[in-house]
Amino acid sequence: MAEGTWEKLSQVAVLGAEYDSPERQPHPKCLEGTRVDLLKFIYGLLDKREKSQIIWLHGTAGVGKSAVAFTVAERMKGLKVTEETKIETRLAGSFFFSRKHTNRSTTGHFFATLAYQLARNFPSVQTHVNRAIRENPAVLNASMSLRDQMKALFRRPLWHMESTGRLRECPPPVFVVDALDECKPETVADLISLLGQALSDPELPVVHILLTSRSEEHIRKAIQKEEMRTLVCEIPVNTSGEGIAGTISLDGEDVDNDIHVFLQHSFTDLCSRHPDFPQPTADNLTRLANRAGRRFIVASTMMKFVDDGYNDPRDRLELMLELTNELLP
């Protein structure tokens, strides 16, 4: 790849949006033994070679969607496309939106970021990404038409991958897009539509996109349009309803156990750093898990309160138990 073109792409690619970026630390991740059924179900979908899919995992804040997205991205990064390759992994790219960061709250460099990661992971497409940028350098401008960016930086390199035929018998590459609800809403519908158009293109290889978001109306309307129906596999929070909703959920009795495992693991880690800190009783663990209300963000906040790095964690735990008893008897 021409040095100047690659340098331009690397300068506009949003490095902080990658799943394992230091900007996102601490990285939320599913602990071993949690989300077992959900992850197994998602991995099964990602292994399907028949057609491309958008797997939409959605629900309210704090139920652990980003932890699932990170865990899936990490697993895909650890899987090689073929046994022969030393570089190419199944994680084709990732973009974790965040309203706290300007360049992660818009779609302006979304496709440039994915193209940069795709070219790093699949060296064979670097030449085609380079050529697309040379032919139209403005495609790297955030104000450029999102459709033009998709065609040059997403569809074109994927088309090349298909034209070589090298990946046709391999497990599909995977893109992970997290927290779409944290993207400015005026461009979300266009982005979803363009991703749908790309995945519907018979000239492109089978690829899958894991997409997570809150269940916001503008996202729901865009992703449930008629032309998207055959592409989308929906995994909602609620256990009510039919199909997948009745099979896999982020908000069910299995989550109670996952929250308990998370708290137990966190307190074990705390005890290893503070030998004089007694492991909470089973009753107290259960009480804290119940107070979390099946929301990982609440359980995480509890642990940050107890283990704040400044105060005696024994006093903080006692205070936490008193507060939960008073607020939620």
Q: What sign results for the dihedral spanned by CA atoms 100, 106, 107, 110?
A: negative
Neighbouring C-alpha atoms within 13 Å toward the C-beta of 197: 13
Q: Which structure tokens are listed for 239?
A: 């256990």
Per-residue confidence (pLDDT) for residue 251, from 0 to 100: 52
Any idea where the domains of the chain sit in the sequence? 3-246, 253-327
Q: Which residues have a Cβ under 8 Å from the Cβ of 206 and sit 6 or more positions away? A: 49, 50, 51, 52, 172
Q: Which CATH architecture has domain 3-246?
A: 3-Layer(aba) Sandwich (3.40)
- pLDDT per residue of the chain (329 residues) written in tens, 0 to 9: 456 899 999 999 999 999 999 999 888 888 777 788 888 889 999 999 999 999 999 988 877 899 999 999 999 999 988 776 677 899 999 999 999 999 999 999 999 999 999 999 998 899 999 999 999 999 999 999 999 999 999 999 999 998 887 777 789 999 999 999 999 999 999 999 999 999 999 999 999 999 999 989 999 999 989 999 889 998 875 433 322 333 344 555 566 777 777 788 788 888 888 888 888 888 888 888 888 777 767 887 888 888 888 888 888 888 888 877 765 54
In the block, tokens 């359980």 appear at 299
Closest C-alpha among 56, 39, 35 to residue 47: 39
Q: How much is the pLDDT for 104?
A: 97
Q: How many CB atoms lie within 10 A of CB 141?
A: 15
pLDDT of residue 142: 95
Q: Which of 266, 275, 326, 272 is nearest to 302 (CA)?
A: 266
- Residue with tokens 């399907």, as numbered in its chain: 48
Q: How far, in whole angstroms, is CA 202 from its chain's centroid?
A: 26
Query: 10 Å Cβ neighbour count for 143?
Result: 7
Does this model's pTM top 0.75? My answer is yes
Q: What is the 3-state secondary structure (H, E, C) of the chain?
A: CCHHHHHHHHHHCCHHHCCCCHHHCCCCCCCCCCCHHHHHHHHHHHCCCCCCEEEEEECCCCCCHHHHHHHHHHHHHCCECCCCCCCCECEEEEEECCCCCHHHCCCCCHHHHHHHHHHHHCHHHHHHHHHHHHHCHHHHCCCCCHHHHHHHHHHHHHHHHHHHCCCCCCCCCEEEEECHHHCCHHHHHHHHHHHHHHHHCCCCCCCEEEEEECCCHHHHHHHCCHHHCCCEEEECCCCCCCHHHHCCCCCCHHHHHHHHHHHHHHHHHHHHHCCCCCCCCHHHHHHHHHHCCCCHHHHHHHHHHHCCCCCCHHHHHHHHHHHHHHHCC
Strands 174-178 and 208-213: parallel
